[in-house]
Amino acid sequence: MPKPFKLADAKIPRLKSDILNLVRSRCSARVPFDPERPVGEEDLRQILEAGSWAPTAHNMQNFEVIVVDDKDLLAELGNIRSEISPIFIRENYEQLSFSREELERKKTGVLATIFLPCWRSPEAKQGNIPESERLSLLKYTMQDAPTVLIVVYDTTKRAPASEGDVLGFISLGCVMQNMWLMASSLGIDCQIMSVFSGKRIEIEVKRVLGVPAHMTVAYACRLGYPLAPPSGYPRVRRDVDDFTHHNAFGVRGLG
């Protein structure tokens, strides 16, 4: 007997297309946000609920999210001194492309022009950047974001039999992706700020926000609306056949 037709069935192809388009359009907003245009509470709730439905190992949901939108607290966080390590400078250099053509050919990495000139100089290849060029304040990363989400997790828990809690870290990444995609669907820009998990910075962030000692900062993300349109940064990805192996490693593609 033929399967009864349901209106929802007719929407499936369009839904798949919409999801893929949303995934493709998601991007990291490395631009200043309007500090006077906060993220609405209803939108914020939807973003956080999307995070709550992320897959986590054994459904442990081992994360908490601190929402910071108080201007005084944002200013206090912004005055925390940050330092980029020579290791980051050196390894970041290896991922740089120095022209749009190079980036489009490689299909991986980032365009060098998004970083400070000293970070893309020949000296950066060895991590030899003067300390003065590696020091800054968090406010230069936060760029006037009206809302910052700080994701923390309990270090006394881990996914069962997960050496190094790899599954737990994967779960935190799923939470990030869910929140990011929901924000994008609402027209809210997002940028992940991994600098918040640096040990020296984390100590200060935990002090300012009263985070218990057994909790660790995984990452933070800034949410908001850009003051000006993005500059059209080129986004590249490998083609499916570039990273797919069919039935055995080395047998490229699906055909």
For residue range 170-221, what is the model confidence (pLDDT) as tens digits? 999 999 999 999 999 999 999 999 999 999 999 999 999 999 999 999 999 9
What is d(CA 189, CA 144) in angstroms, rounded to the nearest whole number? 13
Express each pLDDT in 17-69 by its tens digit: 899 999 999 999 989 999 999 999 999 999 999 999 999 999 999 999 999 99
Give the contacts of 80 (CB within 8 A, at least 6 positions apart): 137, 138, 201, 204, 205, 208
What is d(CA 233, CA 64) in angstroms, rounded to the nearest whole number? 32
Q: Which pLDDT score, from 0 to 100, does residue 127 have?
A: 85
CA 86 to chain centre: 22
Express each pLDDT in 127-137 by its tens digit: 888 888 888 99
Q: Does domain 30-80+138-224 have CATH number 3.90.226.10?
A: no
pTM value is 0.89
Instruction: Please check whether residue 65 is in contact with residue 195, taking contact to mean a CB–CB distance below 8 angstroms.
Output: no
Q: Where are the domains of the chain?
A: 30-80+138-224, 84-135
